[in-house]
């Protein structure tokens, strides 16, 4: 234990429940003697246990007595020593990288600003299945004439279906039904003279649709209705709308049940904080998340019905190149309470290669599944339904951690993208149980030291101004990174970038494509222009201007906060061999940084633009190439003296955390958290420009999320201050409740 880290006093108790309790012999354990480090680092093995052993009581006592040969008075325990297990009454969220006692709130009053009722919506990047929302569409707005189902008159095909792959529209293979809306005819009798009596005339098909609310008698989950008919008003009363006698049909299209929801686990059960359990009428569920505040679960607070087959899909993830796949894995925490042999949960994956996306396939985590079920009605690709390995059992599992080695996927060398989903099934005879709770899903790859191109400053290398813990890039800089690339059949390019630029109209980046001769070019990254004739830094929608979005629609400000992936379309004229790719960075004469890190907010020690690599995709979604950087080969920079530098970093590094705290909450139903009050001298204040406001703030003008889901107070959260009347604010504050001070201090 390092002498430099002896700072924390008190007693720490760590209960690590590494496996379910079983009948076994119990062995006592006595730890090592008190440690005298003599001021040096010492590594100690506190205890060892077999892989199937259960540690029932493990603890570390930290004394406030100075060690005999140490110049530091206290001790700290670095949590990196804990490689597996569950944190009990402890947390690593308080001080990242260190283990701290979790506040039990017996001697404290913590305001999380989550008072009042609110609803939580799972982020759109996740794909619950089967898809619940029904979609309607006309195959063609002009109809078909003649239509074989409409007595050879004009007919319209109304399709209904579900967006199963979560791509925003219903494809041909996702259409569930086609309804035919037919033109009719009739013989005019007693008309208005526009057609003689006895004349056979065709009606005008009129179609409309609308939403059905949840709780509708026909569609309990909600849905849509479609009404159509044939209008003959031209020949009678002149009314060109449908009257009641002209309506041919009202069709109902029902949404399907939605089984997956985000929750903060405020389910009203009986909570045992010591064991993180919450007992409901139908089973036992967790009382707290393993990471953050939000988890995703099947019908949180309600039992999972019998006869259910449902799943939750993660977003597609590009696979690192084979040479950089090191410790490439999927990991997650989960809690299940299912009806033994009548239900099960498992993981599935879907891989994309040069021929497209494959089928969803069952896969086992490292260490396998603890249970098997048999049912001929289960349809699972990659495993036998006669003895299907699953997560299940006779009681609740408690929080467990799982890991899956992605490099074991078949033909991984040719897989360009991969998706994972969590699937749970119950038989028609299954008893009502809570289902599956999931948190802290991580896709990780260590990567290898290949490299990246960076324009700007680096505290460990080139810097216009190196100030030790942070640096500045040059004013009035202009640098271009150029490379010849084969874009034949490439419709989309994905770039892995980290920008840390001042933005607005001052310091920005642009990505351009030019023809092989270099005579015609187009800006493909700026959202407001395609012109290459204006200065990059002042182009509308350059990177980042006032906020730039990644391929999932997440917007980032001056600092993207790390590697993000953007997707750009390739115009048809530039889908050729030997096209020229140019990445440009231009700065002005003022501020030489994006988020400078002066206040400790930029730990990478770089300012500017970092390009890790890029990939080309065909219109089918197939990845055609993956460009990473291993040096200066085939890459040029200009003009002379520019700030482009090749850096040996960790190419292929990937760490994507799906903690579900990216869920969104409805606006608060109360103006202030309990006990809090606000004041401002502005007399007609309506926003955060002139007073504190409670809401789910996030975006370009502050932290992306609240420290504790879902709400925070913000002043200036809309991007400006000093609004209202009078325009200048002399005083605005947020006042806390009165807190009693305990006798213990």
415-429 per-position pLDDT tens digit: 999 999 999 999 999
- The mean per-residue pLDDT over the stretch 525-538 comes to 95
Q: Is the pLDDT of residue 52 over 50?
A: no
**SS3 labels along 54-106:** CCCCEEEEECCCCCCCCCCCCECCEHHHCCCCCCCCEECCCCCCECEECCCCC
SS3 172: helix
Q: Which of 306-310, 422-426, 552-556, 633-637 has the lowest mean pLDDT?
A: 633-637
Separation of alpha carbons 158 and 227, rounded Å? 11
225-268 per-position pLDDT tens digit: 999 999 999 999 888 899 999 999 999 999 999 999 999 998 99
Amino acid 57: pLDDT = 59
DSSP 670-718: SSS-TT-EEEES-SS--STTTS-EEE---STTS-SS-SSSS-EEESSTT
pLDDT category at 653 given cuts 50, 70, 90 is: confident
Q: Is the pLDDT of residue 95 over 80?
A: no
Reading the block at residue 271, the tokens are 């909570």
In the DSSP assignment, the letter for residue 505 is T
**Highest mean pLDDT out of 165-179, 370-384, 521-535:** 521-535
Query: Are the C-beta atoms of residues 485 and 636 closer than 8 Å to each other?
Result: no
Output the pTM of the full model: 0.63
Residue, of 598 and 611, whose pLDDT is higher: 611
Q: What is the percent of the chain where pLDDT is above 70?
A: 81
Q: What is the percent of the chain where pLDDT is above 90?
A: 54
Residue, of 671 and 585, whose pLDDT is higher: 585
Residue, of 648 and 351, whose pLDDT is higher: 351
- The mean per-residue pLDDT over the stretch 596-605 comes to 53
Q: Which of 1-5, 425-429, 489-493 has the lowest mean pLDDT?
A: 1-5
Long-range contacts of 114-119 (CB under 8 A, 24+ apart): 114/264, 114/708, 114/709, 114/710, 114/711, 115/668, 115/670, 115/673, 115/674, 116/668, 116/669, 116/670, 117/669, 118/665, 118/666, 118/667, 118/668, 118/669, 118/710, 119/665, 119/666
Q: Is the pLDDT of residue 90 over 80?
A: no
- The mean per-residue pLDDT over the stretch 627-648 comes to 86
Separation of alpha carbons 22 and 99, rounded Å? 29
N residues, the chain = 745
Amino acid 269: pLDDT = 93
Amino acid 699: pLDDT = 65
Reading the block at residue 185, the tokens are 């005819």
Residue, of 58 and 416, whose pLDDT is higher: 416
**Highest mean pLDDT out of 121-125, 459-463, 628-632:** 121-125
- The mean per-residue pLDDT over the stretch 74-82 comes to 43
Amino acid 17: pLDDT = 32
Q: Is the pLDDT of residue 87 over 70?
A: no
pLDDT category at 665 given cuts 50, 70, 90 is: confident
| Torsion (CA) 94, 96, 97, 102 in degrees, nearest 10 | 20
Amino acid 102: pLDDT = 65
Residues of each domain in the chain carrying CATH 2.60.120: 260-445, 452-649
Q: How far is CA 303 from CA 125, 313, 377, in A?
A: 25, 21, 21
Query: Are the C-beta atoms of residues 530 and 512 closer than 8 Å to each other?
Result: no
- The mean per-residue pLDDT over the stretch 575-584 comes to 96
Reading the block at residue 5, the tokens are 């880290």
- The mean per-residue pLDDT over the stretch 639-652 comes to 84
704-714 per-position pLDDT tens digit: 677 777 888 88
Query: Are the C-beta atoms of residues 352 and 679 closer than 8 Å to each other?
Result: no
Residue, of 50 and 192, whose pLDDT is higher: 192
Element (H, E) at 10: strand 10-14
Q: Which of 154-158, 254-258, 464-468 has the lowest mean pLDDT?
A: 464-468
Q: What is the distance of C-alpha 57 from the center of its chain?
A: 37
Residue, of 74 and 476, whose pLDDT is higher: 476
**Highest mean pLDDT out of 36-40, 244-248, 321-325, 693-697:** 244-248
- The mean per-residue pLDDT over the stretch 662-684 comes to 84
Amino acid 647: pLDDT = 87
Query: Are the C-beta atoms of residues 543 and 524 closer than 8 Å to each other?
Result: no
CA atoms within 13 A on the CB side of 694: 23
- The mean per-residue pLDDT over the stretch 302-318 comes to 95
Separation of alpha carbons 77 and 91, rounded Å? 12
Separation of alpha carbons 403 and 424, rounded Å? 18
Q: Is the pLDDT of residue 48 over 70?
A: no
- The mean per-residue pLDDT over the stretch 600-622 comes to 83
Amino acid 151: pLDDT = 95
Q: Is the pLDDT of residue 574 over 90?
A: yes
Amino acid 278: pLDDT = 93
Q: Average pLDDT, whole number, for the chain?
A: 84
Pairing outcome for strands 371-373 and 623-628: unpaired
What fold is seen in the domain 260-445? Answer: Jelly Rolls (2.60.120)
Separation of alpha carbons 425 and 391, rounded Å? 11
Separation of alpha carbons 505 and 544, rounded Å? 9
Q: Which of 4-13, 429-438, 447-456 has the lowest mean pLDDT?
A: 4-13
DSSP 229-244: EEE-GGGTT---S--G
Amino acid 663: pLDDT = 83
Amino acid 285: pLDDT = 96
Q: What is the assigned CATH class of domain 452-649?
A: mainly beta
């Amino acid at each position: 234990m390092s002498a430099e880290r002896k700072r924390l006093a008190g007693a720490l108790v760590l209960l690590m429940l590494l496996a379910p309790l079983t009948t076994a012999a119990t062995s006592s354990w006595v730890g090592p003697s008190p440690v005298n480090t003599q001021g040096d680092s010492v590594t100690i093995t506190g205890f060892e246990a077999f892989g199937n052993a259960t540690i029932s009581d493990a603890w570390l006592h930290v004394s406030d007595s100075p060690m005999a040969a140490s110049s530091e008075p206290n001790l700290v325990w670095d949590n990196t020593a804990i490689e597996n297990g569950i944190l009990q009454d402890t947390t690593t969220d308080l001080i990242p990288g260190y283990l701290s006692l979790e506040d039990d709130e017996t001697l404290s009053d913590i305001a999380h600003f989550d008072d009042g009722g609110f609803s939580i919506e799972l982020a759109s990047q996740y794909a619950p299945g089967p898809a619940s929302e029904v979609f309607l569409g006309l195959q063609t707005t002009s109809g078909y004439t003649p239509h074989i189902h409409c007595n050879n008159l004009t007919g319209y095909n109304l399709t209904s279906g579900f967006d199963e792959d979560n791509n925003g529209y219903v494809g041909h293979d996702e259409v569930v039904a086609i309804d035919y809306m037919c033109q009719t005819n009739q013989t005019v009798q007693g008309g208005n003279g526009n057609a003689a009596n006895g004349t056979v005339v065709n009606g005008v098909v009129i179609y409309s649709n609308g939403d059905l609310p949840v709780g509708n008698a026909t569609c309990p989950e909600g849905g849509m209705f479609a009404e159509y008919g044939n209008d003959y008003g031209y020949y009678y009363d002149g009314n060109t709308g449908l009257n009641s006698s002209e309506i041919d049909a009202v069709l109902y299209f029902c949404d399907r049940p939605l089984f997956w929801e985000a929750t903060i686990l405020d389910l009203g059960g009986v909570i045992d904080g010591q064991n993180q359990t919450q007992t409901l009428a139908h089973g036992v569920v967790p009382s707290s998340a393993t990471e953050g505040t939000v988890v995703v679960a099947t019908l949180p607070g309600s039992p999972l019905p019998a006869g259910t087959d449902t799943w939750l899909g993660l977003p597609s993830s590009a696979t690192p190149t084979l040479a950089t796949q090191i410790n490439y894995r999927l990991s997650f925490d989960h809690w299940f309470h299912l009806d033994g042999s009548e239900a099960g949960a498992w993981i599935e994956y879907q891989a994309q290669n040069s021929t497209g996306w494959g089928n969803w396939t069952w896969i086992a985590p490292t260490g396998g599944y603890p249970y098997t079920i048999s049912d001929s009605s289960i349809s699972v690709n990659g495993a036998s339904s006669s003895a299907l390995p699953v997560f299940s059992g006779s009681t609740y599992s408690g929080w467990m951690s799982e890991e899956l080695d992605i490099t074991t996927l078949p033909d991984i060398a040719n897989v360009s993208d991969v998706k994972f989903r969590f699937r749970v099934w119950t038989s028609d005879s299954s008893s009502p149980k809570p289902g599956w709770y999931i948190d802290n899903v991580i896709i990780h790859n260590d990567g290898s030291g290949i490299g990246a191109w960076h324009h700007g400053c680096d505290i460990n290398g080139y810097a216009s101004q190196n100030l030790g813990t942070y640096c500045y890039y040059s004013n009035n800089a202009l640098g271009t990174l150029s490379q010849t690339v084969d874009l034949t059949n490439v419709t989309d390019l994905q770039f892995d970038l980290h920008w840390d630029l001042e933005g607005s109209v001052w310091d920005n980046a642009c990505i351009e494509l030019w023809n092989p001769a270099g005579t015609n070019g187009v800006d493909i990254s700026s959202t407001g222009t395609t012109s290459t004739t204006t200065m990059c830094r002042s182009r509308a929608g350059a990177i980042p201007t006032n906020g730039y979005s990644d391929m999932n629609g997440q917007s980032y400000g001056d600092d993207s906060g790390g590697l993000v992936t953007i997707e750009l379309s390739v115009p048809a004229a530039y889908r050729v061999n030997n096209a020229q790719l140019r990445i440009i960075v231009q700065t002005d004469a003022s501020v030489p940084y994006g988020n400078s890190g002066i206040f400790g907010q930029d730990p990478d020690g770089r300012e500017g633009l970092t390009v890790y690599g890029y990939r080309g995709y065909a219109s089918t979604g197939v990845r055609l190439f993956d460009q990473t950087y291993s040096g200066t080969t085939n890459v040029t920079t200009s003009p002379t003296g520019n700030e482009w530098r090749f850096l040996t970093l960790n190419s292929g590094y990937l760490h994507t955390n799906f903690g579900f705290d990216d869920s969104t909450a409805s606006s608060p139903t109360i103006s202030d958290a309990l006990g809090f009050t606000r004041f401002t001298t502005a007399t007609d204040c309506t926003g955060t420009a002139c007073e504190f406001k409670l809401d789910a703030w996030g975006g370009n003008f502050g932290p992306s999320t609240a420290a504790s889901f879902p709400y925070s107070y913000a002043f200036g959260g809309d991007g400006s201050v000093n609004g209202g009347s009078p325009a200048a604010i002399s005083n605005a504050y947020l006042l806390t409740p009165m807190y009693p001070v305990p006798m213990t201090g």
